[in-house]
Amino acid sequence: MKVKIIKEHLGEGQFPNFKKGTPVTMKEECTHFLNWCACDIQGHQTYVPKTFVCNGKLTRNYNPTELIQESGDIVEVNEIVYAWLLATNNKGITGWVPAENVVSVDSLL
């Protein structure tokens, strides 16, 4: 599914790929994005969907890097996790974008 960015998204920096089984220290739950929590993964302060962690370890490979996009950009959605989209831009870069920042391209036709 393709979506159009309607609000610029700057992200919070680049993160490494974390492998399934990597220890995660969970912190407070986000108030704006339900089912996402602040966390520490190998010294990196970031966020993770609660369902990606069980018994203090990642249940899947995970990269929390957010996709930096400008308003008007079109991206391909790979996965939807609560209020965030894992998407790939036209340069082949993949990252997370808040769903509130996009509209379906189909809705624009």
Q: Give the pLDDT of residue 78.
A: 96
Name the residue range of residue 36's domain.
25-58
Contact, 24 vs 62, CB < 8 A? Answer: no
Q: List, run by run, the mean pLDDT of 10-residue segments along the chain (109 residues).
A: 92 93 97 95 97 98 95 95 95 95 78
Establish if 69 belongs to a structural domain. yes
Coil, helix or strand at residue 14:
coil
Number of structural domains the chain divides into: 2
pTM, 2 dp: 0.91
Helix (H) or strand (E) holding 48: strand 44-49
Residues 79 and 98 in one domain: yes
Residues 37 and 6 in one domain: no
